[in-house]
Amino acid sequence: MNLKAKAMLATAVFSIGLFVNASPIWAEPQPLTIPSNGIVLQGKAKEKYAADYMKTYFQNIRTMKAPAPFEAPAGWKMETVTVNGIALERMTAEQKKSDRVLLQMHGGGYVGGMSKDAGEVYFVNYRLAPAHVYPAALEDAVAVYKELLNRGIKGENIILTGDSAGGNLAVELALYLKENKLPQPGVIALASPWTTFEHKKGTSRYYNDEKDVILGKGTPLNIPVKDAKYKGKLSRKDPRLSPIYADLSGLPPMLIQAGGNELFLTESVRLAEKAAADGTTVTLTVYPGMSHDFALLLPEMQDSIDSLKEIADFANRYMK
């Protein structure tokens, strides 16, 4: 991730005082009152901008020098800590004004952040496939979550976020907590979550394959979703891998964000439908014309800024 994207994501997510009206399960993003200076485009112009931006990005990335180390924003301290051998990047506010804690499960990169509305932020570097298959990542996520509880952090004060594969892991962590009668986080916020290891025809995995300029056909980030090496010997439909088949009752309020052009659109919709059917409070927001994990790689677009503000709204609405 380029430093500009990381800096934006690190400072924009949890702004306080943002509230929007309750949304239906399916909604397009609604205008927010706080002004911002993101790039505003519509329709084909938006799609062309994203495609050109990512084409240039991917062309340059192979020749780029290693970026400078990421520095925490003013008022924050960053350090690397370990929990049971698991590497964490921890950010803490120098003047803590909130008991909220952000726990981030990354996908292809960080998506999360902090401001005066969160006191601590943890980025979990869980073990990766193919060297480590299921349940390695879940075990790491559970170990970190339990350690936060052991440190006196209340589950209700934890904002659990995840993008792409990290979105899958965030839901699976919540399911583990439910099964083992451990405190749930206050809210779950998912960006472009990978919610099924199936690769079915007739879904956005196919019809958006050439539209998704970040994860789709021909991009360096076109992950081998057909291989899904993390699954190990489990069935692709096993709810431990594909939460669209899990019992999602009893989970905290869930926000699901997806791009209209992204590879994982269908399964984001299916996750929202399943959560609603199981009685879980859920909001699904689809950002028209946007690709997978757009806020991460297209941070200058208004859609990306709005998606981060929406997470803030959601947390403020459902957390104490």
User: 68: pLDDT confidence band, cut at 50, 70 and 90?
Assistant: low
Q: Is the pLDDT of residue 67 over 50?
A: yes
Interval 70-88: pLDDT, tens: 677 788 888 888 888 888 8
Joined tokens for residue 252: 């905290």
Residue 213 CA, chain-centre distance (Å), reads 18
User: 107: pLDDT confidence band, cut at 50, 70 and 90?
Assistant: confident
Residue 102 CA, chain-centre distance (Å), reads 12
Percent of all residues in the chain with a pLDDT value above 90, rounded to a whole number = 58
**What per-residue confidence (pLDDT) applies to 222?**
80
Joined tokens for residue 141: 């996520």
- Whether 141 contacts 148, CB under 8 Å: no
Please list, in sequence order, all residues whose beta carbon lies within 8 angstroms of the beta carbon of residue 87, skipping any fewer than 6 positions away: 80, 81, 125
**What per-residue confidence (pLDDT) applies to 65?**
60
Interval 275-312: pLDDT, tens: 999 999 999 999 999 999 999 889 899 999 999 999 99
Which conformational region is residue 78 in: left (phi greater than 0), alpha (psi within -120 to 50 degrees), or beta? beta
Average pLDDT, the chain: 83
For residues 34-48, average pLDDT? 82
Residue 173 or 90, more confident:
173
Of 112, 81, 146, 126, the residue nearest 230 (C-alpha):
126
How far, in Å, CA of 123 to CA of 113, rounded? Answer: 10
Interval 193-229: pLDDT, tens: 999 999 889 999 999 999 999 999 988 888 766 678 8
